Each structure stands twice: as structure tokens, then as C-alpha cells.
A and B are shown apart, each in its own frame.
Chain A
Amino acid sequence: MAAAAAAGPSPGSGPGDSPEGPEGEAPERRRKAHGMLKLYYGLSEGEAAGRPAGPDPLDPTDLNGAHFDPEVYLDKLRRECPLAQLMDSETDMVRQIRALDSDMQTLVYENYNKFISATDTIRKMKNDFRKMEDEMDRLATNMAVITDFSARISATLQDRHERITKLAGVHALLRKLQFLFELPSRLTKCVELGAYGQAVRYQGRAQAVLQQYQHLPSFRAIQDDCQVITARLAQQLRQRFRCALPPAPSPICARLLAVALPCVCFCVELLLALGEPFLAHARGRLEKELRSLEAELGPSPPAPDVLEFTDHGGSGFVGGLCQVAAAYQELFAAQGPAGAEKLAAFARELGSRYFALVERRLAQEQGGGDNSLLVRALDRFHRRLRAPGALLAAAGLADAATEIVERVARERLGHHLQGLRAAFLGCLTDVRQALAAPRVAGKEGPGLAELLANVASSILSHIKASLAAVHLFTAKEVSFSNKPYFRGEFCSQGVREGLIVGFIHSMCQTAQSFCDSPGEKGGATPPALLLLLSRLCLDYETATISYILTLTDEQFLVQDQFPVTPVSTLCAEARETARRLLTHYVKVQGLVISQMLRKSVETRDWLSTLEPRNVRAVMKRVVEDTTAIDVQVGLLYEEGVRKAQSSDSSKRTFSVYSSSRQQGRYAPSYTPSAPMDTNLLSNIQKLFSERIDVFSPVEFNKVSVLTGIIKISLKTLLECVRLRTFGRFGLQQVQVDCHFLQLYLWRFVADEELVHLLLDEVVASAALRCPDPVPMEPSVVEVICERG
């Protein structure tokens, strides 16, 4: 293009060629073929781009340029050119104009022809289209008619068509039925021919239908036949399966195996296809068993005994489960962990339901007393479950069964502990009744020793019975006795700690609760019961506890893996209980006597009493009661040691006399610097005697108990006397009473000095409380006392 532009300015060639086309191109073609081609292509697009591009200088003198200005051009010509040249230009111009005119005319003509022909063509087309429109209209009408007809025809044929469809359906059904009816024979044939795959496919197809319609006898028959054949099929498959799979893999076998492998896989696949319904069927059967068991459990009819129940369960359910498991394992062993898991889940689910039933049944048994039956039942239950347990280790049935047995055993232990406690309380009630029963006149008190022996033996026999009953759980022939629980924990924690030690604890607690009873006046518990319990506890401490524990240890061969309560702890507890009971007994009895003494001192008018002729009745009563207590305690407790007695203790003279008489001789003096101690002797005596602890703990012997009671009583007497004022005869009465007490009480106590001391103090206090202390002659006192 740049080249064309360069050529453009040449005045001679340029002006004519652009508007003319082919004619104008001639001089250019000679110069450059290349540029000509360009121009040729440029023409179609060129008119827009080529023209302005060609005469590139904005020269107004370029004839072909866009900016041509005739005035400028003329001006230029006139100024530059001579006339001749002007003339030449003019002619040239004219010639060119003429050429252009003729060219234009040619062009117009040519184009006009083309236009004419185009108009003709369009007119013809218009005619043709009108014709076509008419035809289309006709086509539409025809189509409507056709539709109408068609609808009419199909309406007419509808009925028949339906019938045909139904017939076709019946036909298909009949074919299916035929297939079913022919199924047994087909299956047989297949089995005979060895087309196992085909057979299984048939069976698989028919199974659902047969299952659905099995209530119809004919189908039932087919199903039965099929099952028989399937069983046979399964048999054969198993046979093949076994043949195909050599038992021990050896090099040769390995090759065989490689050959047989697809076959085995095939078999398994087939069997799996059969397997699912197998388990479902088994479930149905086992559930029926469970239902019948549950019916036996039913609330209203008296349940059959537990042994029968577990037998039923064992043979029905567990047996069934065993069979199922065995069959399944035999069939699907090769199925690997997935199959085993499926079976385990199956067994677990049904097993848990079975266990729930068994537990319900066993719970009904808890109240009962017969352990042997229960143990036998449990044994059977456990034994039966060991078979499936071995088969189905994963299902954990055996573990669950052992757990149940353990739980039952534990509950039994609790039950026995309750039983023992109840027995103990029962014994106590019996004792109370025996103590409260009206006594026969001649009989001296209830046979406390007998009662004690009764109680002890009855408790011991209860314990032994419980031990024997519990021992059944660990008998050799019982299947679960070798479980670790029954060999270890059951013996040590359960029987020894739970049952025996627990019972001893609770016994001590029950006994101690009598000491803490709020009725501090002692009315609630008969004192004899306290005494008896105390002796019982003491007996336990000395012998029974160790005996019972030895017995237990021997029977149950307790292994030393659990810490057990040592005998000494229990003994200490029992001893403490015995001590508290005895101390309480002393308090209660002491209180009874001291109340008596107190009333007698408080209610009497000691100032205006008459000269004593007799020992007061209350003192006799005190001695009688003390004797009774002595007898009572003597029945249960040993004598105990007492200090050496002086032979003439009863004849002892009152030291108080001398002191009170001496005191009378002293002249009254208020000299504070030398304060006269009114009962100097008594004080000196106190200096050398030990302080008397009135409510001190007692020892386990008769003397100590009696000493305690007498101490309490006499101390009360002393305190009461000190609150009263006595006349001369009042003092003498006290003197007589005290002498009487001394005559009879010394024999009960450990240290008679104690009685003397206390009684001396009583008389001394009475003398102090008497404005006119004239004591009675000792000989008279003695006479009165001996007479009384």
C-alpha cells in the first residue's frame, strides 16, 4: 500500500484509475503484479480505505484526492503553466470527462438489466407462494379428519385391549405358577445335573413367594419339597465343599486349592444366600421357646420350681441355641469373622432375653429358704450355658451366666445376713417374753443360764445353717464353683466378711443400742436382758467368734488375697459391747435401788420419828433386791476375786461412833486459827483410802458388778442423808439401817472396806445432820438387826 501511495502522486497515471475499475488498472498492472493483486482485493473493501489512503498528501491540487479544490487547482495551473500547456490540459480534461461519461452510461445500463431480471423473479415467487398456502390449508383439514377417525377407532378397541392385557397377566402368572410347581422337579434335576448355581437361583427366586403363601396347603407342600431338596442341595454343597477344601494345606494341596478356590467361593456364596433365612428361621424357633418360658414365669399361676424352670430353659432355649450355633458354624465357618460376628450378635440378643427371664425367675426365688434347690438350678443353668459358651466365645454368654450366678450368690449372702439378724432379734424377743412371763411362785427367777444357752445355741445353729446353705455354692460338683469369684472373693469378702463379720458387727450394734436407749430410767430394757446380752457378747469374745471364724475359714478355704477383719478386732468390739452392757446394767440396777433408798429418806419425817425398834422395811427390800441381783448375775458371771475378809466382818464396830462421840467432847470453839475438823477421823480415813469412783466401769465378774451397784446405792443414800435433818431417833434409825446393810452387803462386794467406808460416812453425815446426836448402843443395834 505504501508503494501504491508512493506511485499515487504521479499526475499522469493516478487521476483516472480509481473511479474506472478495470480500465484504470491497466497501467498499474504493468508496473507491479503484486500491487495489482492487492488492489484487486482492495476494491471490495477499498472504497472506504483505499481512497483516502491513496492520495496521501493533503494536496488540494490532486484531481483524485479527497481534498481537491478546483479553485486552487485552476489557480495553480494558471500561475505555473504556459498557455500551451494550459491548452493541453484542457483537452486532456475534456477527453477524460468524455471517457467517464461513457463509462457511466455503460454501467447504468448493465445494472438496469440485472434489476429487471430480479423484479421478474420476485414476482414469480409471489405466485408460487400463494399456491402453496392453499395446499397447506387443505392438508390441515385432512389431518383433523384423520385424528377424528383415529380417536373413534381407539375408543372402539379399548375394551378389547384391556381384556388382552389381563389375559397377558394371567398368562405370566400361570407361567410363574408353573415354574413353582415345576420347581421341585427342576431343582431335583438341577441337583442331579450338578447345576447348583441354577438351583440356588431358582430357590432364591421362589423363596419369598413360598414364604408369603405358605398358609396355602399346596404352596406349603411345594415349600416343604423345596426345603427337602434344598437341604439335600446344601448337603451336597457341603460335601463338595469339604472335598474341595483339603483339611491340611500341603504343597500339593495348595495347587489343588488353587484349582478348587473358585469352586469354594461359589459354594460359600451359595450357602450365604441360603444362610440368611436360616438364622431367621432359628430365631423364630428360639423365640417360641422364650415365650413359653415367659408364660411359665407368668404372675398368676404358681411358678414351677426353679429347677424345673431352668431345665426347661436349658433344654428348650439353650439346646436350641446350641444346635443353631453348631449348624451355623459348620455351614458358615469359612465365612470368616463377619459370619461369626453375625452369629454372636444373634446369640447375644437372644441370650440376653433369656437371661432376663432367668433373672426374673431367680428373683422370685430370693425369698425362699431352700438353697440346695437354687444351687442345683443355678448349676444346671450354668452348665447348660457352657456348651454354647464354648461355641460362642464372642457372644460372652458364659461370662454373662457366671455374672448372674455371682449376683444371685451375693444376694443370697445378703439374704442370709438378714435372716441371721432377724433370728437374733427373734431370740431377743423370746428372751424378753420369757423374762416378762409371770413366774411360778416357787421358782427362783427365770433360768437365765438356760436362756443364754438357748440364745447362744440358736444363734450358732442359725449361723451354721447359713454357712452350710452358702457352702453349697462352692461344692466341688457345682459347675461354677471353680470360677475365680467363687474361689476367692465369695469366700473371703462375701461369706467371711459380709456374712459372718457383718453379723457379729450388727449383733454388737444391736446390743449397744440397748445402752443408748433414751429411756434413761431403764424401763425400756429389762435389766436381765442387758445382763444376758453382756454375757453373750463376752462369750463371743472369749470363744464363739474365733470358733465361728475358724469354722468359716475351714469350710471356705479363704485365700489370703483380700484383707480380712482379724479376730482380735471383732473380739475387742464384742468385749467393748459386753463392758458397756454390763456397765449399763449396773447403772440401771443401781438406779433402781438408789431410787428406793432416796424415796425412803426423802419422804420420812426424821425429826419426829420414834425410837427404832426394827430395821426399816426398805432396807430389807434393798438387801433382798441385792440378793436377787446377786443370784441373777451369779447365773451368768463368775464369782470374781475379793479381798481377804476378816472373819468377824459382820461384828465390826462402827468407827463413826467414836468419832461422833469424840466430837461431842470437844468444846465449841470458833477459833479460826485452829479450825476443828468435825469429822477428822473420817477425813484421815479418806486420806488413806482411794477415791471412790461411783459410776466406774465394771469388770466381768459378779463381785465387780455387785460392788458397782452397791456403790451407787450407798452414795445416793449418803447424799440424801446430807439433805435432811435428823432427830435423835432419826439418827438411831439410820444407825440401825446402816448396820443392817453392813451385815448383809459386805458379802457381795470385792472390798468390804468400801461398804464400811460408805456406811460410816452415811452415819457420820446423819450424825452431823442431827442437832442432838445421841447414838444407840452398838449392842442394841446388833440385837435389833439380828431380830430383823
Chain B
Amino acid sequence: MEDDAPVIYGLEFQARALTPQTAETDAIRFLVGTQSLKYDNQIHIIDFDDENNIINKNVLLHQAGEIWHISASPADRGVLATCYNRTFCYVPSLDSFGALGKSAAQLFIALATSSDSKVLTCAAVWRMPKELESGSHESPDDSSSTAQTLELLCHLDNTAHGNMACVVWEPMGDGKKIISLADNHILLWDLQESSSQAVLASSASLEGKGQLKFTSGRWSPHHNCTQVATANDTTLRGWDTRSMSQIYCIENAHGQLVRDLDFNPNKQYYLASCGDDCKVKFWDTRNVTEPVKTLEEHSHWVWNVRYNHSHDQLVLTGSSDSRVILSNMVSISSEPFGHLVDDDDISDQEDHRSEEKSKEPLQDNVIATYEEHEDSVYAVDWSSADPWLFASLSYDGRLVINRVPRALKYHILL
């Protein structure tokens, strides 16, 4: 059985939002949020059966709007947060969730007739139906009729702050704290009463010339989870969540807009970032003047960068050149002295990869370039259950699940 072949799953809508089900450590499960203005949006719960190479999926309706960002609670398998677009007619009503239940068609009619309609990106915390939490193995065929709906837990009220860019959960916590980025504000929320109420604990905002907008943020798993890093325009900033004050700032981290960043899970000062200059840069936050390392493998904007959760030399990037690149950054990883690997092993199994480069022991290199996508890849992420497995999502709704080449896996493990 060809184990390393990618598994492809197609969604019928455009999609940008992808997350592993963080709290789930046994089954390989990803959540994908769709983007459609015309139809009800969905959250696909993708279960991957590693042994049989089979995908099982469940669809949840997300009628609030198209999903721009999705993140799963690290503590509760059933809880997730989304950032979604709401289209308002006239003035946004205070009880904005009253409109959620209405059908999309009504919205469109309202839109079509109004000339001053507005789009606002909101964020909310949801709970999925109990039976889906642990992935009921429903066969893909009979899910046609009843798509279940998410239960709204609470709404992160952002009317005063602007568009929500993303929501991140405290990585090691009990799922009670989240940070959301709204335009130029960074908001720390406390979820109370089993997540049914979100209280704004503290906030900070960027001041400066022009319209400052956060594009992305990550919560550091180090320092007792007191640090958050954000990206706006070409700048990376670190924040202390206790005082909500800035602790470091990397000006002009990229030549153009910074799209995403991620913390090294094993090295507390290391940080990866990517952006519109087609580069991936690795930073030591103690020295913000120079990147530790720069990769320039993509030929268009890099939208996503992710460290492997356990083997931080494996770095995954997704780009709008429709490629996903898996890099081996041994030299700046927490395991800089790995084992030697046999060149033959890899080339035997990997020669079907067009841009596969020959593996040199202990050198930073590109492990593989995955070209299964035909549109821009906006999201990549590792599975929370299997450290050798990752998913990538392109705009046309194609989700591809891939594995780290087996030879490399053995090389790292042995």
C-alpha cells in the first residue's frame, strides 16, 4: 500500500480556514471552515483513518457567515472559535445574533436593495453537537439530508473594536482564555460559565500613523503562556498578556506584509514568520535586528507557516503559488544533532516528487514540495494527534492530507 500518497478531499465552497482539533490527541481530525456569500457556510469535520487511508467527514452548518479564521479549543474537543463576516443592512443591530437564524437568501435580498450595507468580521465561540465531538464514523454518503448546526456559546463583542482578524486560544490552558485581534486592538477575553459568557479582561491597541491592522497572531506556549506575538503590516510584535504591553518589536520583519507567524514549540525564543515577500524568516526574539535564517523557496506570497508540534525542525509553509513546502530546519531546531540518513531510502520513495532535493545530513533543506493544489494555499497545519501528518487547504476548497516522508520520519525517530 502506498502510504505516502496524498489524500485529497474536495469541499464545494471556497475555503481559507483550517485547524486541527487541538484537544483531540487520538484521532486525526481537522476542522475546515468554508467561505460562501451565497449559501450557508459549513464547518467540515474531517476524520482521517490513518490505517485505511479513508476520510470521514461531518458537516456542521455555520450560518452566521463566511468563515475567515477558525481555531479549536485546546481543552474541550467540542469547542471552537471562528471569525466570520457578517453583512449588515443599515445600522448593525445590537442583538446581532438574532439575525443568525434567518436564511442567507434574506440577507442577499437585503444586500441587493441597500446601497450602504456593510461587512463586519465578528468572532464567536461555538460548541459542536456532542455526537460529533469524538467523530462518529458516519459514512460520507448519508450525510446529505441533515446537516447539524453549531451551538453558539458566546459572541466576542467587537462592535467597538472593528474587524476580527483571528482568535487564538491559550495553548496550555483550560480553554478559558482567548486573544482576539480586531483591527488595531488586541483583546484578551475570559470565558466564563462554561464558555457561555466572554468577558473582556484587558486590551491594548496599536497607535501610529495610518490604518494599523493586525493580520495574524500566535500565543506562545512558553513563559507560562504569557506571551503573544502579532503581525501587522511589515512588523512583528510581542505582547505580555499580564500587562498587555509590548515586549519586543521587529520592525520591517519582511519587505512586505507579514501574513503569518508561529512559535517554535521547543525553543522559547524562536519564531517563524512569512509574508508577501515570498520569504520565511526565523527569528530569535532576543535579537530583533537580524533574522536567524531566511528561506526563499516560494514564488509568491507565503500565507502560512507552522512548526511541527514535536519535531521543530519540520516547518510547513503554504503559499499562493499553490505549493506547500515542507522544510527541514535542522540547524536552528531543538534537535540540531540528528542521525545520518541514507540518501537511497529517500530517493526511492520520493522520486515522484518533482522538486524533491537530495537529503544531506544535518543540513537545512527542503524535504518536499507538494503540488497537489491548483489554487492558492491559504492554510496549512499539522495534525494534533499524529506528528507526521499535515493538512493543507487551498482556496478552491481542496484539502490535502500528506505525511512526512517515511525515511525522514525514521531518521528523526531513530
Do the two chains belong together in a single complex? Answer: yes
A residues whose Cβ falls under 8 Å from a Cβ of B: 520-521, 591, 607-608, 610, 668, 670-673, 675-679, 683, 686-687, 691, 693-696, 715, 719, 722, 725, 727-728, 768-772
A679 and B322 contact, CB distance less than 8 A:
no
Once bound together, how far apart are the Cα atoms of A728 and B277, in whole Å? 32
* Beta-carbon nearest neighbor of B374 in chain A: A686
Q: Does B404 contact A (CB under 8 A)?
A: no
Once bound together, how far apart are the Cα atoms of A673 and B59, in whole Å? 13
Once bound together, how far apart are the Cα atoms of A608 and B321, in whole Å? 32
A728 and B299 contact, CB distance less than 8 A:
no
Which B residues touch A691, using CB under 8 A?
Answer: 322, 371
B374 and A683 contact, CB distance less than 8 A:
yes
Once bound together, how far apart are the Cα atoms of A520 and B258, in whole Å? 14
CB distance from B57 to the nearest CB of A (A): 7
Which B residues touch A607, using CB under 8 A?
Answer: 87, 111, 117-119
B9-17, B23-31, B175-183, B360-368: which one contacts chain A? B9-17
B255 and A520 contact, CB distance less than 8 A:
yes
CB distance from A546 to the nearest CB of B (A): 34
Q: Which 6 A-B pairs have the closest CB atoms?
A: A520-B255, A771-B37, A675-B12, A772-B112, A694-B300, A695-B299
CB distance from A660 to the nearest CB of B (A): 11
Once bound together, how far apart are the Cα atoms of A683 and B374, in whole Å? 8
User: Which of B38, B144, B277 has a CB less than 8 Å from the CB of A672?
Assistant: B144
User: Can you name 13 extra interface pairs (CB under 8 A) apart from A668-B38, A691-B322, A694-B321?
Assistant: A520-B255, A520-B277, A607-B117, A670-B42, A670-B147, A672-B144, A675-B10, A676-B12, A687-B374, A694-B299, A725-B119, A771-B112, A772-B112
Segment 40-76 of B: residues with Cβ below 8 Å from A: 42, 57, 59
Q: Does B143 contact A (CB under 8 A)?
A: yes
User: Which of A686, A715, A727, A771 has a CB less than 8 Å from the CB of B38?
Assistant: A771
Q: Does B107 contact A (CB under 8 A)?
A: yes
Once bound together, how far apart are the Cα atoms of A728 and B14, in whole Å? 19
Q: Does B376 contact A (CB under 8 A)?
A: yes
- Whether A695 contacts B117 in the complex (CB less than 8 A), given A672-B144, A673-B140, A772-B112, comes out as no
CB distance from A604 to the nearest CB of B (A): 12
User: How would residues 137 to 171 of chain B score, 1 for a CB under 8 Å from any chain A CB and 0 otherwise?
Assistant: 00011011001000000000000000000000000
Which A residues touch B255, using CB under 8 A?
Answer: 520-521
A719 and B39 contact, CB distance less than 8 A:
no
Q: Does B372 contact A (CB under 8 A)?
A: no
Once bound together, how far apart are the Cα atoms of A691 and B319, in whole Å? 14
A672 and B115 contact, CB distance less than 8 A:
no
User: Which of B37, B116, B256 has a CB less than 8 Å from the CB of A608?
Assistant: B116
Which A residues touch B277, using CB under 8 A?
Answer: 520
Q: Does B270 contact A (CB under 8 A)?
A: no
Once bound together, how far apart are the Cα atoms of A377 and B59, in whole Å? 94
Q: List 28 A-B contacts (CB under 8 A).
A: A520-B255, A520-B256, A521-B255, A607-B111, A607-B119, A608-B115, A672-B12, A672-B140, A672-B143, A675-B11, A675-B12, A677-B10, A677-B12, A678-B14, A686-B374, A691-B371, A694-B321, A696-B299, A719-B301, A719-B320, A719-B376, A722-B395, A727-B115, A768-B14, A769-B37, A771-B37, A771-B87, A771-B112
User: Which of A668, A677, A715 has a CB less than 8 Å from the CB of B39?
Assistant: A668
How extensive is the interface on chain B, given as a class? 35 or more
* Beta-carbon nearest neighbor of B255 in chain A: A520
Which A residues touch B248, using CB under 8 A?
Answer: none
Q: Does B396 contact A (CB under 8 A)?
A: yes
CB distance from A157 to the nearest CB of B (A): 106
Once bound together, how far apart are the Cα atoms of A418 and B107, in whole Å? 73
User: Which of B111, B118, B301 has a CB less than 8 Å from the CB of A771?
Assistant: B111
CB distance from B118 to the nearest CB of A (A): 7
Which A residues touch B59, using CB under 8 A?
Answer: 670, 672
Which A residues touch B147, using CB under 8 A?
Answer: 670
User: How would residues 235 to 264 of chain B score, 1 for a CB under 8 Å from any chain A CB and 0 otherwise?
Assistant: 000000000000000000001100000000
* Beta-carbon nearest neighbor of A608 in chain B: B116
B108 and A772 contact, CB distance less than 8 A:
yes
Q: Does B278 contact A (CB under 8 A)?
A: yes
Q: Does B85 contact A (CB under 8 A)?
A: yes
Which A residues touch B39, using CB under 8 A?
Answer: 668, 670
Once bound together, how far apart are the Cα atoms of A755 and B59, in whole Å? 38
Which B residues touch A772, using CB under 8 A?
Answer: 108, 111-112
B38 and A671 contact, CB distance less than 8 A:
no
Once bound together, how far apart are the Cα atoms of A652 and B46, in whole Å? 42
User: Which of A520, A679, A694 has a CB less than 8 Å from the CB of B396?
Assistant: A679
Which B residues touch A728, using CB under 8 A?
Answer: 112
* Beta-carbon nearest neighbor of A768 in chain B: B14
B111 and A727 contact, CB distance less than 8 A:
yes
* Beta-carbon nearest neighbor of A725 in chain B: B119
Once bound together, how far apart are the Cα atoms of A659 and B13, in whole Å? 15
B374 and A678 contact, CB distance less than 8 A:
no
Which B residues touch A670, using CB under 8 A?
Answer: 12, 39, 42, 59, 144, 147
Once bound together, how far apart are the Cα atoms of A678 and B42, in whole Å? 15
Which B residues touch A695, using CB under 8 A?
Answer: 278, 299-300
Which B residues touch A725, using CB under 8 A?
Answer: 37, 85, 87, 119
Which B residues touch A671, using CB under 8 A?
Answer: 144
Once bound together, how far apart are the Cα atoms of A696 and B144, in whole Å? 44
Once bound together, how far apart are the Cα atoms of A694 and B301, in whole Å? 10
CB distance from B147 to the nearest CB of A (A): 7
* Beta-carbon nearest neighbor of B109 in chain A: A772
B144 and A693 contact, CB distance less than 8 A:
no
- Whether A693 contacts B299 in the complex (CB less than 8 A), given A520-B277, A772-B111, comes out as yes
Once bound together, how far apart are the Cα atoms of A683 and B371, in whole Å? 15
* Beta-carbon nearest neighbor of A611 in chain B: B115
Once bound together, how far apart are the Cα atoms of A769 and B14, in whole Å? 10
Which B residues touch A610, using CB under 8 A?
Answer: 115
A678 and B13 contact, CB distance less than 8 A:
yes
A683 and B396 contact, CB distance less than 8 A:
yes
CB distance from B103 to the nearest CB of A (A): 11
Which B residues touch A696, using CB under 8 A?
Answer: 299
B112 and A693 contact, CB distance less than 8 A:
no
CB distance from B276 to the nearest CB of A (A): 8
Once bound together, how far apart are the Cα atoms of A696 and B321, in whole Å? 11
* Beta-carbon nearest neighbor of B111 in chain A: A771
Which B residues touch A608, using CB under 8 A?
Answer: 115-118
Which A residues touch B374, using CB under 8 A?
Answer: 683, 686-687
* Beta-carbon nearest neighbor of B119 in chain A: A725
* Beta-carbon nearest neighbor of B147 in chain A: A670
CB distance from A282 to the nearest CB of B (A): 68
Which A residues touch B256, using CB under 8 A?
Answer: 520, 591
Which A residues touch B322, using CB under 8 A?
Answer: 691
* Beta-carbon nearest neighbor of B57 in chain A: A672
CB distance from B370 to the nearest CB of A (A): 13
B108 and A771 contact, CB distance less than 8 A:
yes
* Beta-carbon nearest neighbor of B108 in chain A: A771
Which A residues touch B143, using CB under 8 A?
Answer: 672
* Beta-carbon nearest neighbor of A610 in chain B: B115
**Quick one: which of B119, B374, B395 has the most chain A CB within 10 A?**
B119
Which B residues touch A672, using CB under 8 A?
Answer: 12, 57, 59, 140, 143-144
Once bound together, how far apart are the Cα atoms of A673 and B13, in whole Å? 14
Which B residues touch A521, using CB under 8 A?
Answer: 255
Once bound together, how far apart are the Cα atoms of A673 and B141, in whole Å? 6
Which B residues touch A676, using CB under 8 A?
Answer: 12
Once bound together, how far apart are the Cα atoms of A670 and B58, in whole Å? 12
Which A residues touch B87, using CB under 8 A?
Answer: 607, 725, 771
CB distance from A500 to the nearest CB of B (A): 34
* Beta-carbon nearest neighbor of B12 in chain A: A675
* Beta-carbon nearest neighbor of A770 in chain B: B37
CB distance from A279 to the nearest CB of B (A): 69
Which B residues touch A673, using CB under 8 A?
Answer: 140-141, 144
- Whether A693 contacts B321 in the complex (CB less than 8 A), given A675-B10, A683-B396, A769-B37, comes out as yes
Once bound together, how far apart are the Cα atoms of A392 and B14, in whole Å? 95
User: How would residues 304 to 332 of chain B score, 1 for a CB under 8 Å from any chain A CB and 0 otherwise?
Assistant: 00000000000000001110000000000
Once bound together, how far apart are the Cα atoms of A676 and B322, in whole Å? 21
CB distance from A696 to the nearest CB of B (A): 7
